[in-house]
Structure 1
Amino acid sequence: MRTVSLRNIAAHKLRLALTVLAVVLGTAFISGAFMFTNSLSNSFDAAVNNAYQDVDAVAQPAEGSAGITPEQRQALADDPAVTKVNLTEKTTVVLARGTAESPEPIQTGSGSADLGVWYAPEDVVGNPRELVEGSAPVNGEEVAVNAQAAEQFGISVGEELTVVDPAARFQVTVTGLYERDLDQGTAINLLMPESDFLDRYHADNPTVGELLIDGEGEAQSVVDDLAAAHPDLTFETGQQLADEVSKTIQDALSFVNYFLVAFGLVALLVGTFLIANTFSMIVAQRTKEFALLRALGASRRQITNSVVLEAAVVGFLGSAIGILVGVGLVAAIKAIMAAQGAALPGSGLGLSPMAVVVPLIIGTVVTVISAWAPARRAGQVEPVEAMRSSESATPQPLTVRTILGLVLLLAGVIAGLVGAYMDDWGTADRAWAVGGGAIGVIVGFFLAGPALSLPIVPTFGRLIGLPFGSIGKLASTNSRRNPRRTSATAFALALGIALVTVIGMLGQTMKNSIDDLVETGVSAEFVLMPPQRGGFPIPAEVPQTALDVEGVGTVLTYSSVPVAVDGLYTYDYGPGQGASDVISGDPADMVVLDMIEGTSDLGDDGVIASQAFAEEHGWNVGDTYELSAPGLSPATTEVEIVGIYDENAIFANDVISRSAVDKLGLPAAVSSVAMVGVNGDGTVDQEQLRQNLTEAMNQYIVVQVLSAGEMAGVAGDAVTQMLNILYALLALAIIIAILGIVNTLTLSVIERRQELGMLRAVGSQRRQIRTMIILESVQIAVFGAVAGIAMGLFLGWAFLKALAGTGLESVAIPWSLLGIVLAGSLVVGVLAAIFPANRAAKTPPLDAIAD
């Protein structure tokens, strides 16, 4: 029987290829997910190890300390065990060419630009930088640039650049180009001498976060000596710190891995139904073969085991090919990323035992499990079946399956409604209820699908078949004849489209919520914002420049600063960490506020709080509390609660006066302006005001002038980018579903060889046979699309209702997306049928009848 099974696989190459393909696509995604995250991890590991390569010791501030002071730095430099000390500080900047009056920003795309500290090659701790052109910078008006980035962005020695940092803008001259390991040129790294860097960026706050140290002797002995001599600092070897950072990165990347694997499992789930459908058809097609084997003495177990063996061979072969395809996917993704300026240096292909073994096991096991039910049916074939001329035995009844499916469907709908309407439950509990409902709906539809398809698919088939006469009617009859096959084929497509519908609803709802939030919540006429990428702050002189613009009445600055009122942050990130909303002026001039008590005007030392926040912490108008910046400044000041406002979607808990925060003397980097609100004085119209602001802001390079609607558009673009990634991942499930239709139709053509031959023998033309197969395919595709949209609309609605507490208040339906999906299903039906239809049309009439 083993010999028969293996020879049977080899004898039906097309059937083998179609079955293997279903396994390949599911496992390729899982394998690719593991390899891609391995590549990401390898790239970060290479970068981290490179940063700490040949570093004997790394000094960091003791726990609770704000940083390493100049005195501590000098004490380390004077230590006899230390030969060199380097800073690792750097500041994000934006660069521009041209004159100061008309600068031309250097667009780094997905890259970045930063300014750090230059050390001569002989003074560098760790990985050295070698000058390859020009000379080293000697003062704060000169910089060296990494050679790869200079080539990428056309920067040359002797060129003058405008540098915009969080505090100011200034001119520098490029004096030299240097090379460093793993430099892909996507980030521009400017370096200036240490003393000038410290004067520019650490005059107010002289502490630094980290020092790299080269010492005498082995790295561990250097660390031990320094730890004993400087107990007010913490020390680790470069390798220890590299390992810790790599571990942190891997933990962070595990989320990406889970995310990708989740989509891979969705693809594999769709593939599972496709494989099960394929094996069901193969078993039905081989009824006479199994019956003959039974007549020759094969037992039921031997027949079942032979089908399982075939499934195991197909699963293993498909999984192995899937791993190779996964390698190709990763290589393609990396090539695309490199072309877009986001290369992964030192990453390799990410091959690992996990990336090979897991997909191999999953693919093989899933294939065997999906073939188990058809294998058992094969074992139940009676020898007398061999004497029948029909292609298969009497269809199995659908009653039990349909009842069970309808029960699960009803249970799933009830669970979804519970999750949607139980307002007293927490968001997590409601989401779990909807998740359980989703499983019930999906499994219920799979079981009840054949019965549900009977009144729908043939009716739709008659409608679209009317223009084609008897051939159209025959196509409708064929879809009614085998509802199991019709439903199982449509299910794969329905599952993929249901996911697309749910995500489309989530994205449309998020966009609408953002639009409503910004357009109804922002009261400022215009908002001055930096580019979204990198969270770059507004230059310090922008507010005053805006105030001097003709037609401007009021200017407000918004910042998110790590200060606390009575120890409480607006946004609490954990023990001793957080940030608070800080505004100069009256917040009501920037955001629509509904004041319940007091005033919204913060004055010099005011704070306003939301009603819920004030009640939770016992704050009342007129109370005074201490304003502090834990870990950043020893200074404190008193602030007064001047107003209580109703719940606001933009200002969560409280808002603090900028002038009060300024009294704490915080470094510019942590209290920089994130956004500026501007209102006109009524002397010019809005268009003229916008033009005046735009002309005034051009000099700052990083500042955009946006209306409330345009702000919503910027935020909406970020949502669209996220959705595009999700759609790209879901496309794999859709592709598998489309191939499933091709697979099913092709196997159906093979199975119906006698029937097609008879049609040709009684006068049907090839064109008519092709039309019949295409109409059958369109019926299946449209049924799958409609069922998927219906499931997706219900599950998406229930899911969004469960998330209402997170700000997604009104559920939005992406009608245009649904229209595209429905129209696309017609196209899919036609395209999926091209190969099977051509094969059917070429069926030789006499040979088929003789078979």
Structure 2
Amino acid sequence: MLRLSWAGFRERWTLFAGAVLTVCLGVALVQSSLLLLVSASTTSAPAGAGALARMSFDASTEAAVALLGVTLGFAALLAVFIISSTFAFTVEQRRRELALLRLVGGARRQIRRLLLAEATLLGLVGSALGVPVGVALMGVQTWLLHRLGFVPDGFSGQWRLWIVAVSVGTGVVLAVVGVSLAARRAARVRPLDALRDTGEATRVMTTARLLTGLLFLAGAVTLIGLSPVGGAVGGQAMAMNVSVCAAIALTLLGPSLVPAVARLIPARAAGVLGGLATANLRDDRRRTASTAAPVIVLVGLVLGQASASSSFTAAGQLEQQRRISADLVIDAPGPTGDRVTTTPGVASASTEVEVPIALTTGSGDLAYTRSATALLVDPAGYGRTHPGAGDLTALRQGAVVAGPGADGFSPGDTVGVRVGDQDLGSLPVVAAVPQAIGGGATVLLPAGVVPAEQLADVPSHTFVQLLPDVSRQQAVSTLTEVGTVSDLDSWLERDSVARTATSTGVLIMVMGLGGLYALIGVINSVVVAGATRPREFAAVRVTGFTRGQVVRAAVLESIMVAFAGLLLGLLAAAGTLIGVIATTAAVAGTVTVDVPWLLVGAVVVGTVLVTAVTSALTTRAATRQPPVALLGARQ
């Protein structure tokens, strides 16, 4: 069977090349993300670092591990869908060939074995190419991590020999899984039905595919409904996952939806070529859906995640503006002590120092310790600076308050806290400040719980309120001796820039290379679709169409498919925006939506241009030979 598979591979290499490419890039992306994830989780703090420095290093590596975990999951999701879509398409394009094998005596199980053997072979070839590509890709991801500030200096991805086995296994498994369902369906279709395009062969939407698509669609609707009650953390996670479920659902339902949406485009205005393009869309729904699938995934995930990230960042900035009451902000190393409060003209001041901690929640076998952050504050000053914080008079030595970024515990619970080498033991949670869309410290601790000498180099923010009749210029001149003084608006603007840069960096890490992979999947699907149509193009040409007209009709058809994929992808992204609206309204009290229109425009225009150019080049290559030679080659 492998010999027959190899012969088929050599004969149809143009059809299988796209499958090999998707496996290669999918394996490379998964391998690179996995190696970096393992490297980040095993990195140790530099020798000689202080207790707080080690804890800060551990917190940053944990954040990098979480980021790389999301990147790995996104890469795996894309690989599964793009590889499955590509392999299923290659099987469908060989429906007549497989029917002939059945007619000359091939059993159903032999057809399945043939296709699975081909998938194994293609998976091995793609994995062999993907391993060295993954090494180069790891260098790119490492550079991005350093450039965006997610890993400390000196971090690098470490090669592990076992990754070869994992990569090869991943490539083969993805290829076999991607072809298995299509192989089962191809073996089930009667040979004569396949040859005549009747009966079971004409069914595009199977019952299993329809039910799975509806299940994911129901999941997206459920996430939208639950996001308002999920709180700041859970609501954001559910809202951002809406586009994932919706994109999967619309991709699975693509054979029914894509042609219907594409026909809404007034292509018949282009005359005969438009009519030809529309007829091709109607007659080959499998090809149409397979070409649109990576477009739906690309647009739905990239724009959905980007819009959600931008909106939640904007909501966090608005929260900062509403929740802080101050005239000036002082940035200084370490706590400022009485140097601010004793300054003439200062009505009150609240110094906040954020430190890394090890936080333990739960008890017994359910106890869980994780890296978190604590804000060292004076309860009275914090309440004046943050008017909506509530009553914090119970915050004292031996107690904590749940902070704006708290998750998994509430007043009445007990948590374990360790700051550097100082174990504060189990502390009761005596109050909670409102959760924030923009996150923040996990707990609030009283200022004196950490010795001042340990905080000498830790950055602090002091929010200052001035007396009504004091000259702001004079106060700034005096307070400059303590640290860098800014008015509140300027400080909030810098904080906003930092928040935006962080969210953009996360988006680039998670979606950047994955989005590029999805774009390559779009190109690949167009190339594979065009590479299987030389005889179809030849048949059109012998009826009187010129080569240029055939190319223009194919380009128009691809643009229609791209627009259908774009519309469905935008629909998936819109689902996430509905979740964002519900979450921000419930948590922050104000609906906040910030759509990155520049990115939307770039994705839409770029997808259409890439699809059109790829289709034009592929069709020209497929129409190089004279039509009579192609039609007479195999009769």
Tell me the TM-score normalized by structure 2.
0.76
2:254 matched to which residue of 1? 449
**Shift of residue 402, structure 1, vs aligned partner:** 7.7
Q: Where do 1:500-511 residues align within 5 Å?
A: 500-511=302-313
Equivalent residues of 2:313, 2:500 under 8 A apart: yes
**Shift of residue 744, structure 1, vs aligned partner:** 2.9
Quick one: distance in 2 between partners of 1:373 and 1:554? 72
RMSD: 5.2
Corresponding residue SS for 1:738: helix
Q: Name the structure with the higher strand share.
A: 1
Corresponding residue SS for 1:846: helix
Corresponding residue SS for 1:320: helix
Equivalent residues of 1:558, 1:584 under 8 A apart: no
1:142 matched to which residue of 2? none
Corresponding residue SS for 1:27: helix
Quick one: distance in 1 between partners of 2:508 and 2:202? 38
Quick one: distance in 1 between partners of 2:434 and 2:239? 28
**Shift of residue 266, structure 1, vs aligned partner:** 1.9
Percent of paired sites with the same residue: 19
Q: 303, 315, 319: which one pairs with 2:111?
A: 303
Corresponding residue SS for 1:350: coil
Quick one: distance in 1 between partners of 2:112 and 2:172? 17
Pair 1:483-2:297 in alignment: no
Q: Where do 1:301-700 residues align within 5 Å?
A: 301-334=109-142, 345=154, 350-380=158-188, 395-396=202-203, 398=205, 400=207, 404=211, 407-408=214-215, 411-420=218-227, 423=229, 441-460=246-265, 462-463=266-267, 466=269, 468-530=270-332, 536-537=333-334, 543=340, 547=343, 553-554=346-347, 556-560=349-353, 581-583=376-378, 590-592=385-387, 661=448, 666-670=451-455, 674-680=460-466, 693=476, 697=480
Q: 47, 57, 71: which one pairs with 1:260?
A: 71
Equivalent residues of 1:315, 1:364 under 8 A apart: yes
**Shift of residue 311, structure 1, vs aligned partner:** 0.9
Q: What is the identity, as a one-letter code, of the residue corresponding to 1:500? A: V
**Count of residue correspondences:** 598
1:116-156: CA deviations, max 9, x gaps? Answer: xxxxxxxxxxxxxxxxxxxxxxxxxxxxxxxxxxxxxxxxx
Quick one: distance in 2 between partners of 1:529 and 1:798? 36
1:446-490: CA deviations, max 9, x gaps? Answer: 332222223211221x34x63x33212222221222222212322
Equivalent residues of 1:273, 1:492 under 8 A apart: no
Task: Give the direction of change, closer, same or farther, for the CA distance of 1:694–1:739 in structure 2 (3 Å limit).
Answer: farther
Equivalent residues of 2:32, 2:135 under 8 A apart: yes
Q: What is the identity, as a one-letter code, of the residue corresponding to 1:519? A: Q
Equivalent residues of 1:31, 1:355 under 8 A apart: yes
Equivalent residues of 1:770, 1:837 under 8 A apart: yes
Corresponding residue SS for 1:268: helix
**Shift of residue 381, structure 1, vs aligned partner:** 6.2
**Shift of residue 370, structure 1, vs aligned partner:** 1.3
Quick one: distance in 2 between partners of 1:261 and 1:299? 40
Q: What is the identity, as a one-letter code, of the residue corresponding to 1:836? A: T
Q: 487, 510, 517: which one pairs with 1:736?
A: 517
1:18 matched to which residue of 2? 18
Quick one: distance in 2 between partners of 1:446 and 1:396? 17
**Shift of residue 374, structure 1, vs aligned partner:** 2.9
Q: 708, 714, 718: which one pairs with 2:495?
A: 714
Q: What is the identity, as a one-letter code, of the residue corresponding to 2:29? A: F
Corresponding residue SS for 2:202: coil
Q: 502, 505, 509: which one pairs with 1:724?
A: 505
Quick one: distance in 2 between partners of 1:651 and 1:296? 71
**Shift of residue 745, structure 1, vs aligned partner:** 2.7
Q: Where do 1:200-211 residues align within 5 Å?
A: none
Quick one: distance in 2 between partners of 1:384 and 1:597? 79
Task: Give the direction of change, closer, same or farther, for the CA distance of 1:274–1:734 in structure 2 (3 Å limit).
Answer: farther
1:542-577: CA deviations, max 9, x gaps? Answer: 738x947xxx65462413499xxxxxxxxxx989x9
Quick one: distance in 1 between partners of 2:57 and 2:385? 42
**Shift of residue 753, structure 1, vs aligned partner:** 1.7
Q: Which of 263-272 and 329-338 deviates more?
A: 329-338
Equivalent residues of 1:515, 1:709 under 8 A apart: no
Corresponding residue SS for 1:780: helix
Q: 283, 290, 294: which one pairs with 2:98?
A: 290
Task: Give the direction of change, closer, same or farther, for the CA distance of 1:25–1:729 in structure 2 (3 Å limit).
Answer: farther
Quick one: distance in 2 between partners of 1:36 and 1:655? 34
Task: Give the direction of change, closer, same or farther, for the CA distance of 1:773–1:249 in structure 2 (3 Å limit).
Answer: same
Q: What is the identity, as a one-letter code, of the residue corresponding to 2:334? A: P
For structure 1, the 5+ residue unaligned runs are 52-87, 93-113, 115-208, 210-244, 531-535, 563-572, 618-628, 635-640
Equivalent residues of 1:405, 1:445 under 8 A apart: no
1:828 matched to which residue of 2? 610
1:334-360: CA deviations, max 9, x gaps? Answer: 46677899886595x622244222221
Task: Give the direction of change, closer, same or farther, for the CA distance of 1:290–1:352 in structure 2 (3 Å limit).
Answer: same
Task: Give the direction of change, closer, same or farther, for the CA distance of 1:808–1:319 in structure 2 (3 Å limit).
Answer: farther
Quick one: distance in 1 between partners of 2:532 and 2:420? 76
Q: Where do 1:159-198 residues align within 5 Å?
A: none
Quick one: distance in 2 between partners of 1:340 and 1:273? 33
Quick one: distance in 1 between partners of 2:91 and 2:139? 36
Quick one: distance in 1 between partners of 2:299 and 2:152? 33
Q: Where do 1:217-236 residues align within 5 Å?
A: none
Quick one: distance in 1 between partners of 2:522 and 2:558? 7
1:653-679: CA deviations, max 9, x gaps? Answer: 9896x7xx5xx9943434877222234
Task: Give the direction of change, closer, same or farther, for the CA distance of 1:89–1:407 in structure 2 (3 Å limit).
Answer: closer
Equivalent residues of 1:19, 1:314 under 8 A apart: yes
Tell me the TM-score normalized by structure 1.
0.59
Quick one: distance in 2 between partners of 1:683 and 1:293? 94
Q: 546, 554, 557: which one pairs with 1:765?
A: 546
Q: What is the identity, as a one-letter code, of the residue corresponding to 2:630? A: A
Corresponding residue SS for 1:524: coil
Corresponding residue SS for 1:669: helix
1:135-191: CA deviations, max 9, x gaps? Answer: xxxxxxxxxxxxxxxxxxxxxxxxxxxxxxxxxxxxxxxxxxxxxxxxxxxxxxxxx
Q: 626, 630, 634: which one pairs with 1:848?
A: 630
2:34 matched to which residue of 1? 34
Corresponding residue SS for 2:73: helix
Q: Where do 1:140-151 residues align within 5 Å?
A: none
Q: Using CA pairs below 8 Å that are at least 6 residues apart, which structure has the higher relative contact order?
A: 2
Q: What is the identity, as a one-letter code, of the residue corresponding to 1:2? A: L
For structure 2, the 5+ residue unaligned runs are 356-367, 413-418, 425-429
Quick one: distance in 2 between partners of 1:741 and 1:392? 31
Corresponding residue SS for 1:7: helix
Task: Give the direction of change, closer, same or farther, for the CA distance of 1:428–1:337 in structure 2 (3 Å limit).
Answer: closer
Corresponding residue SS for 1:674: strand
Equivalent residues of 1:402, 1:451 under 8 A apart: no
Q: 72, 91, 108: which one pairs with 1:280?
A: 91
Task: Give the direction of change, closer, same or farther, for the CA distance of 1:283–1:802 in structure 2 (3 Å limit).
Answer: farther
1:232-280: CA deviations, max 9, x gaps? Answer: xxxxxxxxxxxxx999999887545533321221221232333334323
Corresponding residue SS for 1:459: coil
Quick one: distance in 1 between partners of 2:198 and 2:537? 13
Q: What is the identity, as a one-letter code, of the residue corresponding to 2:561? A: I
Equivalent residues of 1:519, 1:712 under 8 A apart: no
Equivalent residues of 1:30, 1:265 under 8 A apart: yes
